[in-house]
Structure 1
Amino acid sequence: MKMGYNQTTIGEIPKDWEVINLGKASPGVIGILAGYAFSSKYFNEKEGIPLIRIRDLGKNSTEALYNGPFEDEYLVSPGEILISMDGEFKAYVWRGPKGLLNQRVLKVWSKNEEYLDNLYLYYAIQKPLRIIELQVGQTTVKHLSTKHFDRITIPLPPIEEQRRIAEVLSGVDDAIRRVDLAIAKTERLKKGLMQKLLTEGIGHKEFKETKIGKIPKTWKIVRIKHIASVKEGIYGKRGEKGIIQLKADSILDNGKINSNAYALITVNHRIDEYLLRPGDILLSNRNSANLVGKCAIFRGEFSECVFSNLLTRLRVHSKDIIPEWLLYVLMKMWHDGFFKSLSTRAVNQALLRKGLVERLRVPIPPVSEQQKIAEILSYVNKKFDLERMRKEKLVRIKKGLMGDLLTGRRRVKVAM
């Protein structure tokens, strides 16, 4: 055992730390309040006080207002800790306006902030909540109750160290929120540019009405079957050996291939016609309604690979179009919900048949204009990817800090 540490029920912690059980420490140390089942007849969108439901956690606003009677104890102020009681047992700091605590949402708070810092409590309960979620999920429908707090034991450093730990972790959370805002801003920019550039082009003043809407007068409209070959993928037996097969979850939202998501398959016939080449576009042909039509471009991530029967390959063969242009047109269709509306529905599935894909009409500008537009959208995509990578790095940093600071493996300096 490390010098200066004690072995406890939650592992080794510094000798000057305590261990407290939140269920047994309440009501003297923490307050626990489950939300109230407010009558839906008072719900509306125009007047009243914000009603905080599970779906609102993690946001800064609510979807519904409540304009009926309530008890003051169910009021929630900005900065208070809320926990979702169904599905994912996760703690949140409420950052929206003052609102009402609805059913299936739990509020917890420190009753003595000279003993237990409220923000430290928020960070300390996250791991125990996750453990309870995993335990409950093995036996029944996931549902958290106040009785589960008898299972929550947390380490308790001296109060000044609690505050310093919370300060460090909240600093990382602030950085993550700033990156989230930048990501959202770039996403809006990307969607706006796609809408404008893929329908209006660059510098056009004359337009014409077509079957797919208004486009520049000099643009053409063609069906996909006239500019690209369309082929559905291959089924194979999966195992630990074989050829790499890209799947539906190999396709990322940004039009790229996730090279970490693939299967290995063996097949009993020739695969030449299913091998991918750089520039091939893969489109999800069978998926949930929101994901069907999601697409990405293959850029040679693997030297040899095929694609699943749940994907459709589009291989451009016309000199009048570049693959990147077709990719962005298809991505816009997916973002706009076009494929969702066009698909054939089955139980929990939506299907895009090969013939339907071949008959799709797409706008075709001059190749030089396609290239300019693709470059602009590619630049915004790269900016988006960099911001997302920055967030992933911050999340990893936070995870490491929580593992170190909340166990005392790494001590923070406290001003004397």
Structure 2
Amino acid sequence: MKMSDYVEIDIGEFPKDWDVRKLKDVIIKAKSGGTPRRNVPEYWNGNIPFAKIQDITKSGKYLYNTEEFITEKGLENSNAWIVPKDSLLLTIYGSLGFVAINKIPVATNQAIIGIIPNKNIIDTEFLYYWYLYFKPYWSKFIKKGTQPNLTLEIVLNSSVPILPLEEQKKIVELLQKATDIYYTLKDYIIQIRNSTETITKVIRKELLTKGIGHRDYVETDIGEFPKDWEVRRLNEIAIIRSGFSERKRDENSKVIHLRPDNIDNETDRIVFHRIVYIPESPKIERYLLRHLDIVLVNTNGSIDHIGKLGIIDMPLNQKITFSNHLTAIRIVSKDVEPYYIYYLLSWYHLNGSFKKVVKNQAGKWNLNLDTIRNLLIPLPPLEEQKKIVELLQKVDELIIRFNDFLQNLEDEANTLYKSILRLALTGKLTEDWRRQIILLRSVVIPYLVYQASKIKGRPVYMTELMKYLFLLQKEYNINLAYNFEPYKYGPFTPQLYKDLEELKDRIEVKEVKDNVDKSLITSKELPQVNQDIANAVNDLINRFGNKDLKELLSYVYKKYPEYTVKSELNLDEFLK
């Protein structure tokens, strides 16, 4: 028996001896959930965990808890159902293809399918990694022009590779190690980014409150500052104006309309992506931005975004306006460096000063114009402002380079992890193990057939061989890595037929018209096997070799009734 080749199918390249089936053929149940009516209080705040998409996207591999709970009445009066522990949850609306294994029984909403795998065929953890790998493929199954949602039918008909459970577990073990390393690295990157942000805050605080080379400090209304600094209100040194709302769009126009989305929350920089263009009109003239104007977010649904800002740091070759959710600050005092004010306001944003003075109106946070105009600004002499700006810009350059390095490192980690997923789930990482299993089967099957034929005085029936191999795995711990599942005559594996085809130079399979079976199998030789295998096979044949097929099936059916659920035989006759 030779090492299997690889075959190409629509979802990738897989070992030839792997089976590929539809999900619906390897599970016990799959069903989406439902949401109880929210206007009925007695349906909510019970003791049944209720999973939504955000629970799955935040959970990682395992789901241990949920944000919301429903009652028994809520369960009974909705399409929700209890998904048993250690099932697979898959999101089908909006955030497509996220998966998690629930470590507690849960109900779910309609955006999540609960999948109960048939563990005789497929391991839940393997299925988790498979659909993690499969996630980018879902887009191929969504009809063009429709909402980007999956359906239960699409999921049930998705392809799943079926391989020996032993190999599935080896792949899971490899991927768990890779996943642990991957997330450890990501955690380190997050910690380093947080440390970098902390260092940035410390440097800005030191320069913007202590200045350069000072010894004498005085207490002011906004804290302690160098003695020779003065404190002014922002409207004493700048023209401050809120923008305007414009719903009309004109892609042929060259007038840019900045919105809060155009200010990056991480870097306090203006970013020109998702740009909106608006029509030319006389009213825009008073809202045109200039070089070195500062733009600050005054209204947002997130309080964390209030006060984020950017500066127009390049000469303008086109018209740029700004929305009513932004405030423009134009420095007009000749003794004030615009970049100094930009860094100071950025520091106010970082240290949470703006959060203390915002108000919530109609579900949105607002920093009103008067509050901005009356902001107190500690001002060093102009030359010191310029030196502070120069130092902070150098720090920014270093931070940007370092963050670029971290981003490249994260991108490399993502690429490597995806490659490991692909290699593992297409059989490349278990080739050596598979080679050993194939070699083991190539000697065990001929040896077993030869010894059984010898004691019976005839060839072995296919059904007999199937049950002998099943018992070798179950009762003698000979690991042939067959996945046995319930079928017409009890435990069955289609892999045996493939193996017999590979062994045709040593095994003869003869099709017959027989009341007992359709195939008779003969071994052309007695191969050499190690003593443990010889002892196991010989003991098995001594126990069952002289039994007819009905007696053999009766033994298997009685001892392993879980494999009789699809049997076409009269169970009463075999189980009595």
Q: What one-letter code is carried by the residue in structure 1 that aligns with 2:343? A: Y
> Which of 356, 360, 371 is 2:389 aligned to?
371
Residue 208 of structure 1 and its aligned partner are, at CA, apart by 1.9
| Aligned ranges 1:297-308 → 2 under 5 Å | 297-300=311-314, 303-308=317-322
Q: Are the equivalent residues in 1 in contact too, given 2:232–2:377 (CA < 8 A)?
A: yes
User: How far apart, in 1, do the equivalents of 2:16 and 2:323 lie?
Assistant: 59
User: How far apart, in 1, do the equivalents of 2:224 and 2:23 lie?
Assistant: 63
Residue 389 of structure 1 and its aligned partner are, at CA, apart by 3.4
Please name the residue that 2:129 is paired with. 123
Please name the residue that 1:382 is paired with. 400
Q: Are the equivalent residues in 2 in contact too, given 1:244–1:305 (CA < 8 A)?
A: yes
Q: Are the equivalent residues in 2 in contact too, given 1:247–1:307 (CA < 8 A)?
A: no
Q: Are the equivalent residues in 1 in contact too, given 2:207–2:388 (CA < 8 A)?
A: no
Unmatched segments (≥5 aa) in structure 1:
29-38, 42-52, 65-73
Unmatched segments (≥5 aa) in structure 2:
30-44, 48-54, 67-83, 436-576
Q: Are the equivalent residues in 1 in contact too, given 2:56–2:99 (CA < 8 A)?
A: no
Residue 314 of structure 1 and its aligned partner are, at CA, apart by 1.3
Please name the residue that 2:275 is paired with. 262
Q: What one-letter code is carried by the residue in structure 1 that aligns with 2:228? A: T
User: How far apart, in 2, do the equivalents of 1:59 and 1:188 lie?
Assistant: 30
Residue 266 of structure 1 and its aligned partner are, at CA, apart by 0.6
User: How far apart, in 2, do the equivalents of 1:399 and 1:304 lie?
Assistant: 43
Is 1:25 the counterpart of 2:36 in the alignment? no
Please name the residue that 2:249 is paired with. 238
User: How far apart, in 1, do the equivalents of 2:416 and 2:260 lie?
Assistant: 31
TM-score between the two structures when normalised by the length of structure 2: 0.51
User: How far apart, in 2, do the equivalents of 1:55 and 1:224 lie?
Assistant: 43
Please name the residue that 2:525 is paired with. none
- Per-residue CA deviation, residues 3-40 of structure 1 (Å, 9 max, x unaligned), is 953546x6775644433556653579xxxxxxxxxx99
Query: Comparing both structures, which one devotes a greater share of its residues to helix?
Result: 2
Is 1:223 the counterpart of 2:236 in the alignment? no
User: How far apart, in 1, do the equivalents of 2:132 and 2:99 lie?
Assistant: 6
Q: What one-letter code is carried by the residue in structure 1 that aligns with 2:263? A: I
Q: Judging changes above 3 Å, is the alpha-carbon distance between structure 1 residues 215 and 405 closer, same or farther for their aligned structure 2 residues?
A: same
SS at match of 1:239: coil
- Per-residue CA deviation, residues 84-124 of structure 1 (Å, 9 max, x unaligned), is 99985734699xxxx988887999999979x8677654432
TM-score between the two structures when normalised by the length of structure 1: 0.67
User: How far apart, in 1, do the equivalents of 2:101 and 2:313 lie?
Assistant: 42
User: How far apart, in 1, do the equivalents of 2:201 and 2:93 lie?
Assistant: 33
Q: Are the equivalent residues in 2 in contact too, given 1:282–1:296 (CA < 8 A)?
A: yes
User: How far apart, in 2, do the equivalents of 1:268 and 1:403 lie?
Assistant: 55
Residue 285 of structure 1 and its aligned partner are, at CA, apart by 2.0
SS at match of 1:125: helix
Q: Judging changes above 3 Å, is the alpha-carbon distance between structure 1 residues 100 and 164 closer, same or farther for their aligned structure 2 residues?
A: closer
Please name the residue that 1:166 is paired with. 175
Q: Judging changes above 3 Å, is the alpha-carbon distance between structure 1 residues 150 and 229 closer, same or farther for their aligned structure 2 residues?
A: same
SS at match of 1:183: helix
Q: Are the equivalent residues in 2 in contact too, given 1:156–1:162 (CA < 8 A)?
A: no
User: How far apart, in 2, do the equivalents of 1:397 and 1:301 lie?
Assistant: 38
Please name the residue that 2:199 is paired with. 189
Please name the residue that 1:333 is paired with. 348
User: How far apart, in 1, do the equivalents of 2:105 and 2:231 lie?
Assistant: 54
Residue 277 of structure 1 and its aligned partner are, at CA, apart by 3.1
Q: Judging changes above 3 Å, is the alpha-carbon distance between structure 1 residues 57 and 359 closer, same or farther for their aligned structure 2 residues?
A: same
Residue 257 of structure 1 and its aligned partner are, at CA, apart by 1.5
Is 1:5 the counterpart of 2:11 in the alignment? no
Q: What one-letter code is carried by the residue in structure 2 that aligns with 1:166? A: L
Q: Judging changes above 3 Å, is the alpha-carbon distance between structure 1 residues 258 and 269 closer, same or farther for their aligned structure 2 residues?
A: same
Q: Are the equivalent residues in 1 in contact too, given 2:65–2:104 (CA < 8 A)?
A: no
Q: Are the equivalent residues in 1 in contact too, given 2:255–2:280 (CA < 8 A)?
A: no
Q: Are the equivalent residues in 1 in contact too, given 2:251–2:277 (CA < 8 A)?
A: yes
Q: Are the equivalent residues in 2 in contact too, given 1:128–1:153 (CA < 8 A)?
A: no
Q: Judging changes above 3 Å, is the alpha-carbon distance between structure 1 residues 329 and 19 closer, same or farther for their aligned structure 2 residues?
A: farther
Is 1:317 the counterpart of 2:319 in the alignment? no
User: How far apart, in 2, do the equivalents of 1:40 and 1:320 lie?
Assistant: 64
Q: Judging changes above 3 Å, is the alpha-carbon distance between structure 1 residues 287 and 155 closer, same or farther for their aligned structure 2 residues?
A: same
Q: Are the equivalent residues in 2 in contact too, given 1:165–1:405 (CA < 8 A)?
A: no
SS at match of 2:334: coil
Q: Judging changes above 3 Å, is the alpha-carbon distance between structure 1 residues 325 and 123 closer, same or farther for their aligned structure 2 residues?
A: farther
Please name the residue that 2:161 is paired with. 155
Is 1:279 the counterpart of 2:292 in the alignment? yes
User: How far apart, in 2, do the equivalents of 1:109 and 1:181 lie?
Assistant: 37
SS at match of 1:261: coil
User: How far apart, in 1, do the equivalents of 2:333 and 2:226 lie?
Assistant: 21
Q: What one-letter code is carried by the residue in structure 2 that aligns with 1:90? A: F
Q: What one-letter code is carried by the residue in structure 2 that aligns with 1:57? A: S
Please name the residue that 2:573 is paired with. none
Residue 345 of structure 1 and its aligned partner are, at CA, apart by 2.5
Identity of aligned residues (%): 22
The count of corresponding residues between Structure 1 and Structure 2 is 381
Residue 313 of structure 1 and its aligned partner are, at CA, apart by 1.4
Q: Are the equivalent residues in 1 in contact too, given 2:88–2:114 (CA < 8 A)?
A: yes
SS at match of 2:270: coil
User: How far apart, in 1, do the equivalents of 2:213 and 2:128 lie?
Assistant: 53
Q: Are the equivalent residues in 2 in contact too, given 1:278–1:299 (CA < 8 A)?
A: yes
Q: Are the equivalent residues in 2 in contact too, given 1:164–1:414 (CA < 8 A)?
A: no
Q: Judging changes above 3 Å, is the alpha-carbon distance between structure 1 residues 412 and 55 closer, same or farther for their aligned structure 2 residues?
A: closer
Q: What one-letter code is carried by the residue in structure 1 that aligns with 2:385? A: V
Please name the residue that 1:49 is paired with. none
Please name the residue that 1:48 is paired with. none
User: How far apart, in 1, do the equivalents of 2:401 and 2:342 lie?
Assistant: 18
Q: Are the equivalent residues in 2 in contact too, given 1:208–1:217 (CA < 8 A)?
A: yes
User: How far apart, in 1, do the equivalents of 2:172 and 2:61 lie?
Assistant: 25
Please name the residue that 1:360 is paired with. 375
Considering only CA atoms, is the larger Rg found in Structure 1 or Structure 2? 2
Query: Using CA pairs below 8 Å that are at least 6 residues apart, which structure has the higher relative contact order?
Result: 1
- Per-residue CA deviation, residues 244-267 of structure 1 (Å, 9 max, x unaligned), is 422210000211121213111113
Q: Are the equivalent residues in 2 in contact too, given 1:243–1:304 (CA < 8 A)?
A: yes
Q: Are the equivalent residues in 2 in contact too, given 1:277–1:299 (CA < 8 A)?
A: no
Please name the residue that 1:252 is paired with. 264
Q: Are the equivalent residues in 1 in contact too, given 2:290–2:316 (CA < 8 A)?
A: no
SS at match of 2:254: strand
Q: Are the equivalent residues in 2 in contact too, given 1:56–1:63 (CA < 8 A)?
A: no
Q: Are the equivalent residues in 1 in contact too, given 2:299–2:364 (CA < 8 A)?
A: yes
Q: Are the equivalent residues in 1 in contact too, given 2:61–2:100 (CA < 8 A)?
A: no
User: How far apart, in 2, do the equivalents of 1:199 and 1:176 lie?
Assistant: 34
